Amino acid sequence: MREHQEKVPFLYILEKFQQQDLQDLCQGKGLNYDEKQNVITVNVMSENYDVFYPSGKVFKEDGREVTSYLLKTVLLRYLVNGKGTKPTFKFISYKEIKDGQVYYPNFYKRTIQRLAQLYEADPDLFDFPDKLERIPMPRGDLAFAFEFLPNVYFQFILYRGDDEFPASANILMDANIEDYFNAEDLAVVVDIAIEYFVHKGTIPPDLGMYHFKESC
């Protein structure tokens, strides 16, 4: 049942991916692609992924195949729906995007609340060396912006807890976000970003929905 829930969205976007031309998929996104091998290289956080066209197969830079339908779906949606819009570096809340008010309870529980709980359990969660550029932001006790995919930026804001209040968090996104992902997509997109920090600079190639629930 779980595999079916994750596979159906992937097959839907895979069909759209296969209907587009390779060059159109990369248009405006500044991506490297090899027309001879029909492969697009996409950077996610600090890791490179090779997306093969038209199969939709995805491999990490270390050669491991990505079996996660969630991650493959996000990559294909980025390629199919992304308009190549440059970041504005004006950050907005989830509620400010179309349908954000409707889906906010799910987004809050799956991402904002989870991020706060993880930070409370491990204040050193983000304290590790990696290649990801983190842009410091003057908010909270710890705040930084980062590029999830080319032109797609998020901002994590964290507040330490005390004797009276637990740790809390907020998540903002660049104002260009709707040119890449919709409100429903973003709960998964941001949760994948959180997984990168949980796993100290890498995204598990077999990432599934159950990972999110178990780590809450």
Q: Please report how many Cα atoms fall inside a 13 Å half-sphere around the Cα of residue 190, on the Cβ side.
A: 29
Mean pLDDT of 65-91: 97
d(CA 197, CA 190) in angstroms, rounded, equals 11
Q: Is 11 helix (H, G, I), strand (E, B) or coil?
A: helix
Residue partners of 156: CB distance under 8 A and separation at least 6: 115, 142, 143, 144, 146, 169, 171
Tens of pLDDT, residue by residue over 173-182, are: 999 999 999 9
- Integer Cα distance of 172 and 154 in angstroms: 6
Hey, where are the domains in the chain? 2-81, 91-214
State the pTM of this model: 0.93
What string of DSSP letters covers 146-198? EEEETTEEEEEEEE---SSS--EEEEEEETTGGGT--HHHHHHHHHHHHHHHH
pLDDT at 212 over 60: no
Distances (CA, A) of 59 to 7, 14, 32, 145, 204: 17, 16, 15, 26, 12
CB atoms within 10 A of CB 181: 23
Query: Confidence class of residue 213 from pLDDT cuts 50, 70 and 90?
Result: very low
Record the tokens describing residue 80, joined without a space.
């199919």
Question: pLDDT digits over 90-114, tens only?
Answer: 999 999 999 999 999 999 999 999 9
Tallying the residues shown for the chain, one arrives at: 216
**Which residues does residue 193 pair with via DSSP β-bridges, in sequence order?**
none
Q: In what order do the strands lie in the sheet with 135-136?
A: 91-93, 168-174, 152-159, 142-149, 135-136
Query: pLDDT digits over 19-57, tens only?
Result: 999 999 998 898 999 999 999 999 999 999 999 999 999
Place of tokens 């093969």: 52
List CB contacts of 5: < 8 A, sequence separation 6 or more. Answer: 209
d(C-alpha 93, C-alpha 173), whole Å: 6
pLDDT > 70 in the chain, percent: 94
